[in-house]
Amino acid sequence: MRCGTIYRRDPLVKNADWGFNMIDRIQWLGHGGFAILDALRVYINPRRIARPAHPADIVLISHHDYALCSTVDIDKLRGEQTHLIVSESAQRDLPDGIVLRPWQSISIGRACIKAVPAERGVGFVISMNYYDIYYAGDTGMISEMSKIRADVALLPLGETFTAQQAAELIARMRPRYVIPYNGRGGAAPLDALALARMSIESTQVVFPSPAIR
């Protein structure tokens, strides 16, 4: 097995590959938070963010943990047309959210949101513009992950989900890109480098930069 590569975002790099275009629309918000700013503005587990110029189209909350479910930050993103989609565990803090249980899905505009199993709460598969983006959530390695296929995988990397386990999942899932993160902070550089060394050649490990706040 040949190793994958570390890909760093660089505004001077030109690349016609479709994956570059999609990966460049994904912003890491710190901790377990991400924004996908494409045809729809999708935010996942926002925390400690600035109020954006435009409200979110979709906000996804995977678990009720304080690091993932910040009602203050969710309020910064909400507008009249914002769809709030939450796990069953997060409903206690967000009673007006639409609850998705594992393997349930909902279509909103040109996006389809599917909840998938995770150890704590749920993960999500966000399908938009012909790309499937897998957000694993607050979880370790679980058997249900073998059923998931994605073009981009956002995977937690740390004590409960090691680089070795992530590499095994990548070999089965075969995503074009992987962004490692940690719900309590950024994935350690050495963990990301270890993952890149163990990953298959067709997968690029993206070392995320925090979004400008």
Task: Write down the residue that tokens 């679980």 correspond to.
Answer: 142
pTM tops 0.85 = yes
Domain ranges of the chain: 5-206
CB 42 within 8 Å of CB 58:
yes
CA dist 178 and 195 (Å) reads 10
What is the chain's length? 213
Domain 5-206 annotated CATH 3.60.15.10? yes
Residue of 160, 136, 180, 178 lying closest to 45 (CA atoms): 136
Beta bridge partner(s), residue 106: 113
63: Cβ–Cβ under 8 A, 6 or more apart, which residues? 45, 69, 87, 89, 90, 118, 120, 121, 122, 137, 138
CA dist 176 and 94 (Å) reads 34
CA dist 130 and 112 (Å) reads 10
For the chain, 213 residues long, give each residue's pLDDT as a single digit of tens: 333 444 444 332 333 344 447 888 999 998 889 999 998 999 999 988 999 999 999 999 999 877 788 899 999 999 999 999 999 999 999 999 999 999 999 999 999 999 999 999 999 999 998 999 999 999 999 999 999 999 999 999 887 888 899 999 999 999 999 999 875 555 566 777 888 888 778 889 887 766 555
Distance, first Cα to last Cα, the chain: 39
CA dist 180 and 182 (Å) reads 7
CA dist 44 and 152 (Å) reads 15
